[in-house]
Amino acid sequence: MIRPIVKYPDPILQRPTELVTEFNDELRTLANDMFESMYAAKGIGLAAPQIGVGQRLTVIDLSNKEKPDEKIVLVNPEVIETQGRQYEEEGCLSLPEIREKVVRAAKVKVKAQNLDGEWFEMEGEELLARAFQHEIDHLDGVLFIYRLSGLKRDLILRRIRKLQRTGEW
Ligand code: NI
């Protein structure tokens, strides 16, 4: 089921999520809904709070549905190692049409559980490393605009408020 994407400034996007403790059909359905909602919105990553669910769960698919083996589900993920630095443009389905360059680690290793509750580790670089960091930030209640300088962030927040006033946000 496609669920609507929650937009900034909804408070659920700015609160840390709860750990997932039940690995059941409900969790599977939630993960499936997240993939469907992400594909419908043409995204490559989606965190549970973005469909209004405050749980520590994110899905990523850099191929955007083209390659089924590129579907990644991370339950209760943590970044356990970082290396290097990259500075590339990011966007977010909860901040439509806002794109800015963000400083991130170039390579990260994450630890997470799968939908059966089994722990695994996974490494990513470049775009995948960015997706890991961006999505895990969501689970901590952090949006990418909080990773920008205060000046850039203020300009974006002003732009959003203006769009809100004209009913375009
Ligand atoms: Ni995002």
**pLDDT 10s digit of each residue in the chain, 169 long?**
999 999 999 999 999 999 999 999 999 999 999 999 999 999 999 999 999 999 999 999 999 888 888 999 999 999 999 999 999 999 999 999 999 999 999 999 999 999 999 999 999 999 999 999 999 999 999 999 999 999 999 999 999 999 999 999 9
Give residue 143 CA to ligand 1 midpoint distance, Å.
7
User: E-assigned strands of the chain?
Assistant: 45-47, 57-60, 72-83, 86-90, 100-104, 107-113, 119-125
Can you list the domains of the chain with their CATH numbers? Answer: 11-165 (3.90.45.10)
End-to-end CA distance of the chain: 24
Give residue 35 CA to ligand 1 midpoint distance, Å.
14
Question: Is 135 one of the catalytic residues?
Answer: yes
Give residue 16 CA to ligand 1 midpoint distance, Å.
14
Q: Is the pTM of this model over 0.95?
A: yes
Identified catalytic residue from 70, 88, 100, 135: 135
Give residue 131 CA to ligand 1 midpoint distance, Å.
9
